[in-house]
Amino acid sequence: MKQLAVLLVLLSIVGGARPASAQQLPVGRWTGTSVPPGMSMEIPMSFDVSYEDGNLKLFMNMPGGPVPRVEARDIELDASTITWMGGRTGGMSVRCSVEKKEDGSYGGECVNADDPKSEPMLLTMIPPREP
């Protein structure tokens, strides 16, 4: 009987264990910049971050750009890095990867997914300020 009680206690501890909550990004309109390959000028951008059915959704917005709004796909998020694919049907696809900085912003680059050795577009993402 004592063994059964110990077993039940151990099972309740193991069964009650929950994984640490998944990393989540602040929801809302993020600001940022991009520096296209071969240019030194920063171009203002924004990023719409949301969750749908628990899944991260990310849209890149570049008003006046050749593709004003691009939905990210294949998004991966861990404690310090966000990676995703972006692009349009019939157009170039890019693989983006940004790393979290000490100030809470993210910085990294996007490269042509078909030519990973291509010159990257530099990217910064700044989360919305908390009210």
Average pLDDT along the chain: 80
Position 6 in a domain: no
CA 111 to CA 2: how far, in whole Å? 62
CATH number of the domain where residue 82 is located: 2.40.128.120
Q: How many domains does the chain have?
A: 1
| φ, ψ (nearest 5 deg) of residue 129 | -75, 140
CA 31 to CA 94: how far, in whole Å? 20
pLDDT, tens digit, for every residue of 85-115?
987 655 778 899 999 999 999 999 999 888 8
Q: Which domain holds residue 83?
A: 26-126
Report, in angstroms and rounded to the nearest whole number, the Rg of the chain calculated over CA atoms. 20
